[in-house]
Amino acid sequence: MAERIVLITGGAKRLGAAVTNLLIEKGCFVLIHVRRSVAEAEELLAGANKKFGRVCGSVLQGDLSHQSDVDSMLEWLNGSELIREHGLFGLIHNASNYAPVPIGELTGEDMDDLYHLHMRSPLTLSNGLFESLSRGQGSIVGIIDTSWKRHWKGLTHYTATKAGLRQMLTNLAGEYAPHVRVNSIGPGAILAADWEEEHFQHVLGNVPMGRPGNPNDIANAVLHFLETNHLNGIFLPIDGGWDLNMNQ
């Protein structure tokens, strides 16, 4: 059987690590992209290699807000013997930077950084890996959020570029069909960032399920999208029903 090779951006920690671990458990070879978390990715892989008695993946590094890093990553990926032989089974756009900036202090550079991270790099990687994905009967999964149509204080740069990513992936689902499927997931409150514990608890007050999601909920949905051959152009919220209370 052909090796199922998946690239995940920001795949060493938190939700990314849950996706990486599940894909490895299901037999995939995971290319774990990191910006800084090289040690965490290597530790995750060392544990997996030992547990499953095989080489479960490798690590590649780059800052997705820098075009030169994205170009180098693509050159490496498209030159990889493994990808040439098997194609790519998955590309998961997971990397993100979720940090507030008061609206009066938001600069063009802040917008450019997140535009690059959430939109330009996912587009460059998707287009640059299209041929490998097509050969590997692969698909793309974007990890977005539930900010669509909501006001999230201090997060204009984040919510606007996530909305852009969501629409871009919807469009690519049509552009790439019938060769490569494209879907996306909108996690609700799953794991709080270190700066937002209070806000996170407030959000949970409006979530009908009344509790945070589990990173494995996101990982299971990614696997489902990768393995279900007729799913295309879907946006799946995984938010405990938060959308039911849209205005709260």
Ligand X SMILES: NC(=O)c1ccc[n+]([C@@H]2O[C@H](COP(=O)([O-])OP(=O)(O)OC[C@H]3O[C@@H](n4cnc5c(N)ncnc54)[C@H](OP(=O)(O)O)[C@@H]3O)[C@@H](O)[C@H]2O)c1
Residue pair 17/59 in contact (Cβ under 8 Å)? The answer is: no
CB of 1 to ligand X, least distance (A): 30
**If binding is defined by CB under 6 A, does position 145 make contact with ligand X?**
yes
Encode burial over 192-212: b for 16+ CB neighbours within 10 A, e otherwise. Answer: eeeebeebeeebbebbeeeeb
Select from 45, 125, 189, 221 the one that contacts ligand X (CB under 6 A). 189
**If binding is defined by CB under 6 A, does position 240 make contact with ligand X?**
no
Question: What's the gap between Cα 183 and its chain centre?
Answer: 11
Cβ-closest position to ligand X: 10
CB of 86 to ligand X, least distance (A): 25
Q: What distance in Å separates the CA atoms of residue 231 and residue 222, rounded to the nearest whole number?
A: 12
Q: Which stretch binds ligand X (CB under 6 A): 10-18, 102-110, 132-140, 168-176?
A: 10-18
Q: What distance in Å separates the CA atoms of residue 184 and residue 219, rounded to the nearest whole number?
A: 12
**If binding is defined by CB under 6 A, does position 95 make contact with ligand X?**
yes
**If binding is defined by CB under 6 A, does position 199 make contact with ligand X?**
no
**If binding is defined by CB under 6 A, does position 16 make contact with ligand X?**
yes
**If binding is defined by CB under 6 A, does position 179 make contact with ligand X?**
no
Residue pair 98/193 in contact (Cβ under 8 Å)? The answer is: yes
Q: DSSP letter string over 147-213?
A: -TT---TT-HHHHHHHHHHHHHHHHHHHHHTTTSEEEEEEE-S-S--TT-HHHHHHHHHT-TT-S--
Give the residue with the Cβ less far from ligand X, 86 or 116.
Answer: 116
Q: Which residue has the tokens 């690519």?
A: 172
Select from 34, 60, 92, 172 the one that contacts ligand X (CB under 6 A). 34
Q: Which stretch binds ligand X (CB under 6 A): 80-88, 89-97, 130-138, 203-211?
A: 89-97
Residue type (1 letter), 132: S
**If binding is defined by CB under 6 A, does position 12 make contact with ligand X?**
yes
**If binding is defined by CB under 6 A, does position 96 make contact with ligand X?**
yes
Residues that bind ligand X (CB under 6 A): 10, 12-16, 34-37, 63-65, 94-98, 117, 143, 145, 187, 189-191
